[in-house]
Amino acid sequence: MRIEERLRDALRAYDRIEPSPDALQRLRTTVDSGSPGLWRGRAMASALVAVLATGAVVGARLVSDRPSEELRLVTPVQRPTGPPTTEPSPSSSPSPSPKGTPSDNKTHFVSEDGTWEFWYSKSWFGPTTGKRGWSVYNFNGGESSVPTPIEVQFHIVDSSAVIHDNSDPTLDELQAHMCSDVNDRQIRECKQVEINSRVWAWALVYSEEEGPTLSLGVGTIVGDKSYFAYGYVPGESNHQPFLGQIIEVFESFILHA
């Protein structure tokens, strides 16, 4: 039997795996009652629009009273009203270019070859329990006047995301983890940005050959543990060069002193 036929035959066996009996019902419940997943999406979209329209930034805090405890989310707080930010608005700018807006090099950088750039602001969209999200706006290379929010999965730090425990974690170790790939995919570039004195963000770009994919992560060190969270820019953006992509990261991980 040819290898292709053997592979097809082996994979076909997975047709025998039955969905759980309540699979469809679970999805119906999501539609009918607005489960956390649906609600989360709507809340995020609404907050996103509000943020872009008004420049208001909603903040949240992650608090860790003791290093050994999982970080927990407390009620989001509204940042004191101030002048509108310089972040681009889909309605007010015909061609929202990332250039010239946040100039702080701690929140904005351009890749060495100039083909893409990464930035974030301390914005946070909607309360969640298990997951948090950040949003990526694809400006289609700067040509579109309406940014398209692209969903990026973002895992909140939790016990399974502890990457260094019972040791003395260092930033170098955290960086080594954040700039590596599980499947040894070829990485073209990995950038580290300091968000604050305890939290760092990484933007990791896979090579063209592997399919250009941007992976975003944040990490922090609390006591004797280090934590991370990450997200992928999904495939639909991968056809675009990274030029002009604007990344809004939700409230950075601000920890109680």
Partner 1 sequence: MPRARDDETTLEGLYEANYRGLLGLATVMLHDRGMAEEAVQEAFVRLISSGRLERGDPDRLDAYLRKALINVVRSRLRRRFVARKYSPPVDGSVASAEEQAMLNEQQRAVIGALRDLAARQRECLALRYYLDLSDAQIADALGLSTSSVKTHLRRGIDSLAARLEAAP
Residues 6+ apart with CB under 8 A from 194: 106, 200
Distance between CA atoms of residues 253 and 122, nearest Å: 9
Distance between CA atoms of residues 1 and 238, nearest Å: 36
- Partners of residue 118 on adjacent β-strands: 109
Closest to 204 (Cα-Cα) out of 214, 212, 194, 195: 214
* Tokens representing residue 196 in the block: 């604050």
Taking CB under 8 A as the criterion, the residue among 73, 162, 179, 190 binding partner 1 is: 162
Work out how close the CB of 218 gets to partner 1 at its nearest, in angstroms, rounded to a whole number.
14
H helix or E strand, kind and range, residue 24: helix 23-33
Nearer Cβ to partner 1, position 50 or 77? 50
* Tokens representing residue 166 in the block: 């019972």
Work out how close the CB of 15 gets to partner 1 at its nearest, in angstroms, rounded to a whole number.
6
Work out how close the CB of 112 gets to partner 1 at its nearest, in angstroms, rounded to a whole number.
22
Q: Which stretch binds partner 1 (CB under 8 A): 49-57, 104-112, 206-214, 247-255?
A: 206-214
Work out how close the CB of 125 gets to partner 1 at its nearest, in angstroms, rounded to a whole number.
13
Taking CB under 8 A as the criterion, the residue among 101, 148, 171, 230 binding partner 1 is: 230
The torsion angle over the Cα atoms of residues 110, 41, 21 and 17, rounded to 10 degrees, is -10
State yes or no: residue 21 binds partner 1 (CB under 8 A). Answer: no
Nearer Cβ to partner 1, position 15 or 104? 15
State yes or no: residue 185 binds partner 1 (CB under 8 A). Answer: yes
- Partners of residue 205 on adjacent β-strands: 189, 214
Nearer Cβ to partner 1, position 23 or 74? 23
Answer whether 111's CB lies under 8 Å from 117's CB. yes
Taking CB under 8 A as the criterion, the residue among 75, 235, 256, 257 binding partner 1 is: 235
Answer whether 113's CB lies under 8 Å from 205's CB. no
Nearer Cβ to partner 1, position 182 or 257? 182
Identify residues 30-89 at the interface with partner 1 (CB under 8 A).
30-31, 35, 37-38, 40-42
Number of chain positions touching partner 1 (CB under 8 A): 59
Q: Which stretch binds partner 1 (CB under 8 A): 2-10, 69-77, 88-96, 134-142?
A: 2-10
Closest to 156 (Cα-Cα) out of 182, 123, 134: 134
* Tokens representing residue 229 in the block: 């969270």
Answer whether 136's CB lies under 8 Å from 248's CB. yes
Taking CB under 8 A as the criterion, the residue among 80, 160, 256, 257 binding partner 1 is: 160
Name the residues that contact partner 1, by CB under 8 A: 3-4, 6-20, 23-24, 26-28, 30-31, 35, 37-38, 40-42, 151, 153, 155, 160-163, 165, 177, 181-185, 209-213, 228, 230-232, 234-239
